[in-house]
Amino acid sequence: MAFSLDQTEKIDCISCLVITPFMNTGKAYATKAFEQSIEPVLAIFAIMAGIWAISMVIQLAVTEKSPQDLLVGFVSIGLVAAFLSQADLFIYWIFDTSLQFLHGLSTLALTEVPYQPITSENPLEGLAASIEHEIRFVISVAIAIIRDASFYNLDLIVGGTGLLAPFFFVLALYLGQLSVAVFRIVAITALGAWLCAFIPFKPLRSMTWGALKTIATSILVMATSTIGIGIMVFVVHQSLQYNPTSESGIDPGKAADFVFSDRYWLILLVGWLGVAYQWEAASIASAIGGVFMNSVGPALFAAGTTTTAAIAALLPFKTMRGVSNLSNDAKNTANVARSIGRGIGATASGIGKGLGAAKDGLNKMEQYWQARGGGQ
C-alpha cells in the first residue's frame, strides 16, 4: 500500500524543501560563476594557444610532425573559443542534461517497483517526493504503533521507535546522496569555463575528462541508491499488505498483533539493510565509473538531520517559538515523543509506588506472624 497523491494539489514533500531551492540557487550560482570566469579564461586561453602554436611550429621544423596535427589543433582551439562565448548553451549541455540523466536513470531503477510516481515541473523534486512518500508510509505505521502504547503494553513504544529509526535515517541518507550529487554537478558547472579551456591541450585534457567522469559517476551513485530504495519499497509493499493502518486512516488496534511479528522483523531488517545499501551505492558506482566516491557527506547530513529531528521532537512545545509554523508531521512527532516521556515517567512512578506498597505489605505480614506467635 502506498500513499496516494492528488496531482492537482501542491506536493506535500519535506525533502523538496531542500532539493528545490538548492537546485535553483545552485544553477543560478553556477551560471553566474561561469559567466564571470569567461573573460579571464579567454585571456589565459589565448596565451596558452599562442604557446601551443609556437611549439607546434618548432616541432614541424625539427621533426616529422604532420601539418594535419597543427590544423586539428587550431580547429579545436577555435571551437572551444566559440563554445566559451555561449554560456547558456554550456549550462544546458552540462547542468540541465546531467540532471535529466540523473532523474531518468534513477526513475528507471524503480520500473519494477510498485510505487506511486509523483510528477513535477522539477524532475528531481518529483523523484524526491515519490521516494519520501513511500518511506513515510512506514513511518506512519511506526507512529501508529507508538500512539497505541499504554501502561499495559509499553513494548509498543520500543517496537514503534525501532521501526521508525532505520526508515527515517535511510530517507535522510538518500536525500543527502541526492543533494551531494547535485552539488557535484553545480561545482563542475561553475568551473566549466576552465575545464573547456583545457580540452585542446593534451597535458591538461585529463582534468576535463575527470570532471565528466565525476558527473557520470555521481549519476551512477543516485541510480544505485535508488535501486536500494526500490528493494526496500518492494519488500515493504509485500509485507505490509495487512498492517496497523487502513484506507480510512490509522487502525491502532492491530498494532499489538503486528509488533515483533515475522513481518515486523522482516521490515525492520530491510530498513537497516537499506541504510547499508545507501552506503554501498557509492562504492559500486566508484568501481563502475573509475572515480572514487564516498558516502561520508551524505552520512554526515543524515546523522545531523536525525539528531536535529530527535532534539526537536523531545523539546516541549511551550519552549518552542513559532510552533504554529511547524509542519503537522513535526507536531505529531513531538507529541509522540512527549507521550513517550510521560509514559516512562508514569512507569517509573508506578514502579516506585508498587515497591512501597509491597514493602508495607511485608511489614504488616511480619507483624501479624509475630503477634500470632506471641499469642501461642
pLDDT in tens, 208-229: 999 999 999 999 998 899 888 8
Cβ neighbours around 93 below 10 Å, total: 14
Alpha-carbon distance 373 to 123, whole Å?
87
246 phi and psi angles, rounded to 5 deg? -135, 175
- Annotate 40-58 with DSSP letters as a single string: HHHHHHHHHHHHHHHHHHH
Alpha-carbon distance 83 to 35, whole Å?
12
What mean pLDDT value characterizes the chain?
75
Give the residue with greater pLDDT, 78 vs 86. 78
**pLDDT tens profile 232-260:** 888 887 776 645 454 444 455 666 677 88
Residue with grid cell 540523466, as numbered in its chain: 101
**pLDDT tens profile 31-41:** 899 888 888 99
Sign (positive/negative) of CA torsion 57, 61, 66, 67? positive
**pLDDT tens profile 18-66:** 888 888 888 889 889 988 888 899 899 999 988 888 888 887 777 766 7
What pLDDT is stored for residue 368 in this prediction?
Answer: 54
pLDDT band at 9 (very low <50, low <70, confident <90, very high): very low
The residue count of the chain comes to 376
pLDDT band at 138 (very low <50, low <70, confident <90, very high): confident
Q: pTM, whole model, 2 decimals? A: 0.71
pLDDT band at 139 (very low <50, low <70, confident <90, very high): confident
pLDDT band at 119 (very low <50, low <70, confident <90, very high): low
Q: Are 167 and 306 in contact (CB under 8 A)?
A: no
Which element (helix H / strand E) includes 290? none
pLDDT band at 373 (very low <50, low <70, confident <90, very high): low
What pLDDT is stored for residue 101 in this prediction?
Answer: 85
Alpha-carbon distance 154 to 140, whole Å?
18
Q: Are 218 and 184 in contact (CB under 8 A)?
A: yes
Q: pLDDT at residue 70 above 60?
A: yes
pLDDT band at 88 (very low <50, low <70, confident <90, very high): confident
pLDDT band at 143 (very low <50, low <70, confident <90, very high): confident
What pLDDT is stored for residue 67 in this prediction?
Answer: 75
What pLDDT is stored for residue 148 in this prediction?
Answer: 76
- Residue burial 286-300, b: 16+ Cβ < 10 Å; e: rest: beebebebebebbbe
What pLDDT is stored for residue 331 in this prediction?
Answer: 52
Q: pLDDT at residue 1 above 80?
A: no
**pLDDT tens profile 286-330:** 899 888 887 777 777 777 777 777 776 666 444 444 444 444 544
Mean pLDDT along residues 186-197: 90
Set of cell numbers at residue 175:
536525500
What pLDDT is stored for residue 207 in this prediction?
Answer: 92
Question: Which of the residue ranges 81-95, 124-138, 275-289 has the most confident prediction, judged by mean pLDDT?
Answer: 275-289
Q: Are 211 and 186 in contact (CB under 8 A)?
A: no
Q: What percentage of the chain carries pLDDT values higher than 90?
A: 9
Set of cell numbers at residue 284:
559500486
pLDDT band at 348 (very low <50, low <70, confident <90, very high): very low
Nearest to 351 by CA among 363, 339, 341, 359: 359
What pLDDT is stored for residue 259 in this prediction?
Answer: 82
- Annotate 294-352 with DSSP letters as a single string: -SHHHHHHHHHHHHHHHHHHHS-GGG-SSGGGS-HHHHHHHHHHHHHHHHHHHHHHHHH
DSSP secondary structure letter of residue 201: -
Mean pLDDT along residues 7-14: 54
Beta-carbon contacts of 245 under 8 Å, excluding residues fewer than 6 positions away, are 1, 137, 140, 141, 144, 251
> Could you give the C-alpha distances from 344 to 141, 308, 337, 352, in angstroms and in order?
21, 22, 11, 12
What pLDDT is stored for residue 24 in this prediction?
Answer: 84
What pLDDT is stored for residue 214 in this prediction?
Answer: 92
What pLDDT is stored for residue 318 in this prediction?
Answer: 43
